[in-house]
Structure 1
Amino acid sequence: MIQKGKGQYSKLGKCGAFLEFCGPELYESLPSPRILNTHNRFDWLPEKVRTYKNKIIFTTRNPKDVAVSLYNHQINLPEVYNYYGEFPDWFELFLAGKVDCGEYLSYHLEWLQALQENPDHPILVIRYEECIQDFPGHIRKMADFIESPLTEEQLEDIAMSINFKAMKKHYEALPTSKLIRKGQVGDWKNWLTSDQSAVLDKRSEKLRGTIFEPKFEV
Structure 2
Amino acid sequence: MELPQASYGYEMCLSEKFWCPEFSLEAVIALQSHFEAHDTDIFVINMPKTGTTWFKSLLYTLLNRCDNHHLSNTPLQTYSPHELISSLEIMIYTKDKTPDLTKIPPPRLFSTHLPYASLPESVKNSKCKIIYVTRNPFDTFVSSWLYYSKLEKLDIHTSRDDYFDKFCQGRSLYGPFFDHVVGYWKESLERPQKVLFLKYEDLKEDGALQLKRVGEFVEHPFSKQEEEQGVVQGIINLCSIGSLKEMEVNKKGKCDPDFDNKSFFRKGVVGDWVNYLTPPMVERLTKIMDENFNGSGLSF
Match of 2:237 among 160, 170, 175: 160
* 1:52 matched residue in structure 2: 126
The residue identity in structure 2 corresponding to 1:169 is: E
C-alpha distance in structure 2 between counterparts of 1:182 and 1:89, whole Å: 23
**Identity in percent:** 24
Larger radius of gyration: 2
> TM-score scaled to structure 2, two decimals?
0.63
C-alpha distance in structure 1 between counterparts of 2:161 and 2:133, whole Å: 26
C-alpha distance in structure 1 between counterparts of 2:273 and 2:184, whole Å: 24
Aligned Cα root-mean-square deviation (Å): 2.3
SS at match of 2:245: helix
1:106 corresponds to 2:175: no
User: How far is the alpha carbon of 1:148 from its aligned partner?
Assistant: 1.1
Structure-to-structure mapping, 1:132-211, within 5 angstroms:
132-150=204-222, 151-152=226-227, 153-170=230-247, 171-174=250-253, 175-205=260-290, 206-208=292-294, 210=296
Return closer, same or farther for 1:141/1:112 CA change in 2, 3 Å cut-off.
closer
C-alpha distance in structure 2 between counterparts of 1:110 and 1:2, whole Å: 27
The residue identity in structure 1 corresponding to 2:88 is: L
User: How far is the alpha carbon of 1:121 from its aligned partner?
Assistant: 5.2
The residue identity in structure 1 corresponding to 2:177 is: Y
Match of 1:119 among 191, 200, 205: 191
Question: Per-residue CA shift, 1:112-151, capped at 9, x if unaligned?
Answer: 34345x4365111111111111112211111111011231
SS at match of 2:111: coil
C-alpha distance in structure 1 between counterparts of 2:297 and 2:180, whole Å: 14
Match of 1:31 among 105, 111, 120: 105
The residue identity in structure 2 corresponding to 1:53 is: K
Return closer, same or farther for 1:154/1:115 CA change in 2, 3 Å cut-off.
closer
Greater relative CO (CA pairs within 8 A, separation 6+): 1
C-alpha distance in structure 2 between counterparts of 1:77 and 1:9, whole Å: 28
Return closer, same or farther for 1:98/1:126 CA change in 2, 3 Å cut-off.
same
The residue identity in structure 2 corresponding to 1:202 is: K
Return closer, same or farther for 1:48/1:2 CA change in 2, 3 Å cut-off.
same
C-alpha distance in structure 2 between counterparts of 1:104 and 1:183, whole Å: 19
C-alpha distance in structure 2 between counterparts of 1:156 and 1:108, whole Å: 28
The residue identity in structure 2 corresponding to 1:135 is: G
User: How far is the alpha carbon of 1:180 from its aligned partner?
Assistant: 0.3
> How many residues are treated as equivalent by the alignment?
210
Mapped contact 2:135–2:200 kept (Cα < 8 A):
yes
* 1:212 matched residue in structure 2: 298
* 1:14 matched residue in structure 2: 82
